[in-house]
Amino acid sequence: MMTIMANDLKTRGVTILDEALKLDNEAIISVRGKSKYVVMDLEHYNYLRECELEAALIETRKEIEEGKAKTMTADEHIKALHNDL
């Protein structure tokens, strides 16, 4: 993964991001010598979000199979939330 110095980003703008993202899906932006941000193109970001949502769905289905889920109305859920406070 390519590391881009914040100063290079400041002087070269999105051109340096385009160059970095041609080499890899992600690039790190370094500020004062420390890795601080990760940039990626929107297509890769959407792919990662999709993976995250798929993992959440798998986890939820597993919890349902294990009997860790409850069925209740919206009003019952709100009352339960207030009782936990």
CATH number for the domain that contains residue 6: 3.40.1620.10
Q: Are residues 51 and 76 in the same domain?
A: yes
Q: In what order do the strands lie in the sheet with 2-5?
A: 2-5, 26-31, 34-40
Chain mean pLDDT for the chain: 95
User: How many independent structural domains does the chain possess?
Assistant: 2
Which residue do the tokens 């949502």 mark?
Answer: 53
Give the percent of the chain with pLDDT over 90.
91
Q: Are residues 35 and 56 in the same domain?
A: no
Q: Are residues 36 and 48 in the same domain?
A: no
The structure's pTM equals 0.71
Read off φ and ψ for residue 38, nearest 5 degrees.
Answer: -120, 135
Q: Are residues 19 and 49 in the same domain?
A: no
Domain, as residue range, for 33: 2-40
Q: Are residues 65 and 32 in the same domain?
A: no
Q: Are residues 34 and 51 in the same domain?
A: no
Rounded CA separation 31/8 (Å): 10
Looking at the predicted structure, is the pLDDT value of residue 43 above 90? Answer: yes
Rounded CA separation 23/27 (Å): 9
